[in-house]
Amino acid sequence: MSYGDYLALDTLLDAQHPRAVPPEHDELLFIIQHQTSELWFKLVIHELRSARELIAADELAPALKRLARVKHIQATLSEQWTVLATLTPSEYARFRRFLATSSGFQSLQYRVVEFMLGNKKPDMVRVFDGRPDAVAQLEAELHEPSLYDVFLQLLARRGLPVPAELLERDWSQPYVESEALIDVIAQVYADPERYWDIYETCEELVDLEDNFQLWRFRHLKTVERIIGMGRGTGGSAGVPFLRRALEQSFFPELYHVRGRIAEGTIGD
């Protein structure tokens, strides 16, 4: 077997089909940027699924290895925006109309990643109406516990008083922050030596969210640089929509516990 055969390079390198007429030099950059992002998302999903299964099996050490890999992928995805940022508004305008109604908003894999991290939005499934395979995949993920959900289940198995309503909820609904859970997380941060692997996992999850927010921010600034405050393709709101996404948190209690630490109120 050759290198090209093993990697199916004939298929991979024949998957770029610029549509502009006449051809535009910069369209290939735009296509490859988004295709490579989708390949990285595929690996993120692969690693997050494994991490979730491992946490559910009380195997934190290999789960943290998976999350460490995801963090490196996130760094690559964020850095990738600097390549697309070399595209000027004038260059993009020359081929933008050939995108028609396509939009990154329609990325199935991105939505799967968000669902896996806990940003469950049942209405988003309708974006994929007309694609039964995509709808089925999203519906399945919608009803699975998120990475955070399985972590909270692990905390309960370890004897920490996680509120029952967080352990027996409808997984398809958006997660609602719990003041009582902040008290539980505070116990971990008050005695990291006792809860070391849990404490470490908390910090890994914070890293994961920080990296995701950095990716969102770089996305926002790249879009802003190229199209300003104009609407995105496919009718999306563009920069305002991306800015609202920065306010979303996957693991809110892991951030709010920091306020207690800063104020010296842990253990009160």
| Residues tagged in the binding site annotation for substrate | 30-34, 92, 96, 233
Instruction: Write out the binding residues.
Output: 30-34, 92, 96, 219, 233
Q: How far apart (Å, rounded) are the C-alpha atoms in residues 178 and 108?
A: 29
Contact 207, 71 (CB under 8 A): yes
Q: Which two tokens stand for residue 80?
A: 């990738």
Instruction: Write out the binding residues for heme.
Output: 219
Contact 74, 211 (CB under 8 A): yes
Q: Which two tokens stand for residue 119?
A: 């940003």
Report CA torsion sign: 79, 68, 245, 102: positive
Cα distances from 148 to residues 118, 152, 172, 250, in angstroms, run 7, 6, 13, 8
Of 97, 80, 82, 81, residue with least CA distance to 27: 97
Amino acid at 192: P
Q: How many CB atoms are closer than 10 A to CB 226?
A: 19
Specify whether the backbone of 236 is left (phi greater than 0), alpha (psi in -120 to 50) or beta. Answer: beta
Three-state DSSP state, 21? coil
